[in-house]
């Protein structure tokens, strides 16, 4: 099974080399697609010096957000499974086999790595934990899913499924959009426990309270206007 690993990167000079090392160390056939989202700390220059046959680099001319980075890379993926990896060290690539197993067995089309089923740190702060659980519960209410961690970075999709989705989100609201669109396609979801080493803002964490508001607005648009124009973004 070949996988496509999408890595959105913005100002991650201190971690991107180690993340790539860990991704490459996973003994699975893979292609790596990194999208530099107009970094200003030298990440872009570092990546340009790391070009290799297994790494495809895409460059944004302005900072657009995680959703835009995923949408830039997605049409270029060729793997049977597409997996999203953040460019920091909060998530451990050695857990890829756990994420891929339900898809390989034909039991799932989408697998989320849940931070709340495992024993690692649940979130960077109690506030993040509370917001994540609230957004997940609200998303479940509208999708009918029973997820514990909708906001997780670790999302693995059957490639043919996720490449059919027409996504619109620019920022972190891509998380609920991916969830709603995949759910409405009839995809079978599974969750597996993962470890998590959350970092704080001093360590470079990017997500802000505004991102929570945008995620909430996205959930409400998809959930309450399910017959409206916004639904077209899923197809």
Query: Residue 114's beta-bridge partner residues?
Result: 193
The answer for 38, left when phi > 0, alpha when psi is -120 to 50, beta otherwise, is left
Residue numbers of the domain that contains 15: 3-234
Give me the CATH number covering residue 129.
Answer: 3.90.550.10
0.95 cut: is pTM over it?
no
Per-residue pLDDT 10s for the chain (235 aa) are 999 999 999 999 999 999 999 999 999 999 999 999 999 999 999 999 998 999 999 999 999 999 999 999 999 999 999 999 999 999 999 999 999 999 999 999 999 999 998 665 455 677 778 888 999 999 999 999 999 999 999 999 999 999 999 899 999 899 999 999 999 999 999 999 999 986 554 544 556 658 778 888 888 888 886 554 445 556 5
Q: Which residues does 228 contact at the CB level (< 8 Å), separation at least 6?
A: 221
The count of structural domains within the chain is: 1
Instruction: Using alpha carbons, select from 197, 3, 176 the residue that is nearest to residue 88.
Output: 197
């Amino acid at each position: 099974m070949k996988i496509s690993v999408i890595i959105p990167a913005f100002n991650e000079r201190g971690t991107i080399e180690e993340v790539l090392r860990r991704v490459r160390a996973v003994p699975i056939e893979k292609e790596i697609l990194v999208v530099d989202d107009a970094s200003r700390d030298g990440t872009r220059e570092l990546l340009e010096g790391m070009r290799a046959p297994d790494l495809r680099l895409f460059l944004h001319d302005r900072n657009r957000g995680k959703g835009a980075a995923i949408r830039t890379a997605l049409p270029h993926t060729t793997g049977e499974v597409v997996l999203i990896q953040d460019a920091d060290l909060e998530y451990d690539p050695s857990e890829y086999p756990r994420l891929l197993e339900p898809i390989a067995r034909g039991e799932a089309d989408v697998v989320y790595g849940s931070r709340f089923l495992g024993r690692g740190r649940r979130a960077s702060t109690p506030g993040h934990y509370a917001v994540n659980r609230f957004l997940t519960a609200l998303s479940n209410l509208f999708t009918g899913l029973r997820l514990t961690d909708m906001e997780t970075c670790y999302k693995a999709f059957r490639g043919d499924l996720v490449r059919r989705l027409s996504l619109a989100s620019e920022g972190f609201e891509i998380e609920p959009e991916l969830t709603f669109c995949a759910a409405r396609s009839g995809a079978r979801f599974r969750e597996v426990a993962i470890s998590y080493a959350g970092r704080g803002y001093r360590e470079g964490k990017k997500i802000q309270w505004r991102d929570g508001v945008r995620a909430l607005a996205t959930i409400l648009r998809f959930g309450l206007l399910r017959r409206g124009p916004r639904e077209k973004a899923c197809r």
